[in-house]
Amino acid sequence: MPESDVLQAIFASLEKISVRLDTIDKRLDRIEQRLETVEQRLETVEQRLDKVEQRLDKVEQRLDRVEERLDRVEERLDRVEERLDKVEKRLDIVEMRLDKLEERVARLEEEVQVIKQDIVILKENDKELTRRMNAVYDQVAFLTEFRTEMIMFRDEVYKRFDNLEQQTGRLKEGFEYLRDMTVEHEIDIRFLKKVVRAS
């Protein structure tokens, strides 16, 4: 039960007790005023007074218990307030940590956004590099094919050159043969000329 309710209940009980005690006091006053005339009723009044005192004792006992409970409630309330203060301090710390976390998350989001932009740029660069590499591959393929053709052309030229050397050798042999024949014929012609002149 909240302290305010306990206090209110205590106040209400005390008010009732006070009212009842006031009533008792008034009755005692009236009894004292009528004491001389109602002595015969004194025993009854004393009995009633005993009951009142017993009730008063009970009320006092209840008051003692209520006060003890109130003390315990106040102690508990103090402890609750201390715990509440600690909770509020911890809550402040948690909020500060949460603020820092939000700031870190915001920075991470910015960094991720930058990384995404870098990835987009890298993808574009990758496309350009891929295009250029494909162009290089095409050029290499063309050069490889051209080199193969040049090797074949070189082999063909070497082959023709060998044939030409062979033909040149044969021509030299024929030329030397003709030259020898010409020398022999010149000798014969000179001899015939001498014979003709002599006749």
pLDDT tens sequence across 139-156 = 767 767 767 777 777 777
Average pLDDT of the residues in 102-106: 81
Mean pLDDT of the chain: 75
Residue at token pair 């990835």: 119
Domain boundaries, the chain: 3-117
pTM of the model: 0.36
The CA distance from 182 to 178, in Å, is 6
Residue 55 has pLDDT above 80, yes or no: yes
| Angle in degrees, CA 132, 138, 139, rounded to 5 | 90
Max CA separation in the chain (angstroms): 229
Average pLDDT of the residues in 177-183: 60
The CA distance from 66 to 61, in Å, is 8
Weakest mean pLDDT among 55-59, 89-93, 174-178: 174-178
Q: Are 112 and 41 in contact (CB under 8 A)?
A: no
